[in-house]
Amino acid sequence: MGLNPIPNALGNKSPNYGLTLRAMSTPQITMYSTTWCGPCKRLKSDLEKSGIPFVQIDVESDNQAAALIEKINNGNRTVPTLVFADGTSMTNPSINKVKAHLGIS
């Protein structure tokens, strides 16, 4: 899926957005997932191998996160869903799409 603008999904925008990820001290991505989701495990592993910082939230244990994911995905609780510091989101993206969005190779 493409990028979806989510106004104020993460509150204030980080002043570090757009910098080289390896130089960042705080995650620029929130990954919404479940403990049993295969594609979530794959994406988590790919993000870690790429050195891309992220925060992971289990939508089965966080009702507010589940509601946000349903809003982003037209009523569906689809994971993994990533929300970026700029307010955009991606559902089940490849690591290459994530890197392209962040401007890294």
Q: Does some domain include residue 16?
A: no
Please give the pLDDT value at position 18.
37
Cβ burial, residue 47 (10 Å; 0-12/13-18/19+): buried
Please give the pLDDT value at position 61.
96
Q: Does some domain include residue 70?
A: yes
Q: Does some domain include residue 103?
A: yes
Q: Report the phi/psi class of residue 75: left, alpha or beta, with left for phi > 0 and alpha for psi in -120 to 50.
A: left
pLDDT in tens, the chain (105 residues): 445 444 334 443 333 333 333 444 467 899 999 999 999 999 999 999 999 999 999 999 999 999 999 999 999 999 999 999 999 999 999 999 999 999 987
Count: domains in the chain: 1
Residue type, 95: I
Q: Which domain holds residue 86?
A: 1-7+49-105
What are the CA-CA distances from residue 82 to residues 71, 92 (Å)?
A: 13, 8
For residue 27, count other CB atoms closer than 10 A to its CB. 16
Q: Does some domain include residue 81?
A: yes
Handedness of CA 82, 83, 88, 89 (dihedral sign): positive
Do the Cβ atoms of 69 and 79 come closer than 8 Å? yes
Q: Does some domain include residue 23?
A: no
